[in-house]
Chains A and B, each alone.
Chain A
Amino acid sequence: MMIHETSYLFEDLTLDLDHLSSMLGYPGGLLPEPFNFYLEQAVSDAPSLCNIKGAWILKENMEFSGDRTLISIDGIEFGIGKTVTHELRNSSAAVFFICTAGEKISRRSQELLMSENPVLGYVFDLLGSMIVESATDELQAEIKKMAQSQGMNITNRYSPGYCKWNVADQHKLFSFFPTECCGIRLTDSALMHPIKSVSGIIGVGEQVQYRDYMCALCNQVDCILRNHHNRLK
């Protein structure tokens, strides 16, 4: 099966800077001085700090196991758990994807965090996470187009490490891609380098449904995103 590789420019991405501002503790975008300048600086430096790449592969012949916690593809079993199985139900195929913002932005963030400007470093960290998430949105849009051209729909995306899907399954996921595809390396402990990287699965089929995320699906009690969502409610 063919691997589709894409790269993106920072300028291609849609970033919600209000969200970033509220992650910094200032909902509504009203950042005090000098945090407002840090945000401007991070956004203006970001293009030269990014190496945004994504890749995906379509795998047909996806089988669900009887107990509704496993899927099997090319004879490889993924213990995706009940929740993700439920979200993928009715899929006839699966797309596996990987995506990264590149390494430089994390390095810049780290340098600043430990020395002269920790807050700017933290802004780069948050921005790096947003970049990879937003690039994955683009990748997902591309996958949706491919599916629609074949008369199919896609589900939302789900990642190993969430919803009781063991993060160690990333080794199986990465076995579908050539080594260091998109410049991403997986350590023995299933950590991706660069840090600002994500991996996951998207269900494809005529009958599948796209559903928005719900924090309730996840078992991470003390999550900054969940705390954040709860605060906004």
Chain B
Amino acid sequence: MEELLSKLAECVEFGKINIASPYPPQMKGQEGADEITRKALDQGVHPQDILSKGLMPGMERIGIKFRENKVFVPQVLMSAKAMSTAMIHLKPHFLSGAAKQKGTFIIGTVQGDLHDIGKNLVSMMVEGNGYNVVDLGTDVASDKFIAAIKEHPGAFVGLSALLTTTMASMEKITKDIKAALPDTVVTIGGAPVNNDFCQKIGADCYSPDPQGIVEFLNSKVA
């Protein structure tokens, strides 16, 4: 079992989706996240262990490498794809309650802004680290965030903005959320945003990269 889980972690870290996938070159012809997850389930490995001891450590390792500029966006996307392929097999177990995610993370690009690659990367990384992610898309206004939080009580929120002009919208949304649901934890990110701005608008955490936010969320659910 240990061996299967560490193999699975490796598949996620290096973006090996399934046996047919030629990527990464050094793992060509080997089984991928798809086959190994199925095998583990067949052998009776608990779905929770598959998530926590197989998939998540792999995702964590790629997140750290990305933060350290050792890998680039495509490698992260391959890891996320390997992860989500494995998750297809785990979904029924989350739905039945046999396995649990750590919490819910609601993410969106703020009203007035349409940039989404950064937001998507954060969304994939957070999901890969064991959270249920609700992606509201781009150009998202306060009401929509607030409605989603009400639907998922206790959910964390992530706001993304890529222009200085849409940072104003980020401020408004943060304040609207805090006014309607004061206990909500709001995290922010995007190229022009920084820690000072985060404090100024009353958000709870800023991170320049997805891994930082994962670590922050983990500290909150620990």
A residues apposed to B, CB below 8 Å:
23-25, 32-35, 110, 113-114, 118-119, 122-123, 125, 161, 166-168, 187-191, 193, 195, 220, 222-223, 227, 231
Contacts and interface: CB of A to CB of B under 8 A. Distances in A.
Contact of B23 (A32, A123, A125, A188): A32
A35 B116 contact: no
Interface stretch (B74-82, B147-155, B175-183): B74-82
A130 to B, nearest CB: 15
A25 B74 CA distance: 8
B169 interface: yes
A6 to B, nearest CB: 26
B203 to A, nearest CB: 17
A23 B208 CA distance: 19
Contacts of B23: 32-35
7 contacts: A114-B120, A118-B80, A119-B77, A187-B112, A189-B112, A191-B163, A193-B114
A161 B112 contact: no
Interface of B: 21-25, 69, 71-75, 77-78, 80-81, 111-117, 120, 163-166, 169, 191-192, 208
A191 B114 contact: yes
B166 A191 contact: yes
A167 B165 contact: yes
Interface of A is mostly: loop
Nearest to A123: B74
A190 B163 contact: yes
Given A25-B71, A122-B77, A191-B113, 15 more contacts: A32-B25, A33-B25, A34-B22, A113-B77, A113-B117, A118-B80, A122-B117, A125-B117, A168-B165, A188-B112, A189-B111, A191-B163, A195-B114, A195-B115, A223-B191
A119 B24 CA distance: 13
A28 B62 CA distance: 23
B117 to A, nearest CB: 6
A187 B120 CA distance: 22
Contacts of B111: 189
A98 to B, nearest CB: 16
A222 B72 CA distance: 15
List 10 A-B pairs, minimum CB-CB distance, nearest first.
A189-B112, A25-B72, A118-B77, A33-B22, A190-B165, A119-B74, A189-B165, A32-B25, A222-B208, A119-B77
A114 B163 CA distance: 23
B163 A122 contact: no
B166 A189 contact: yes
A189 B169 contact: yes
Nearest to B110: A189
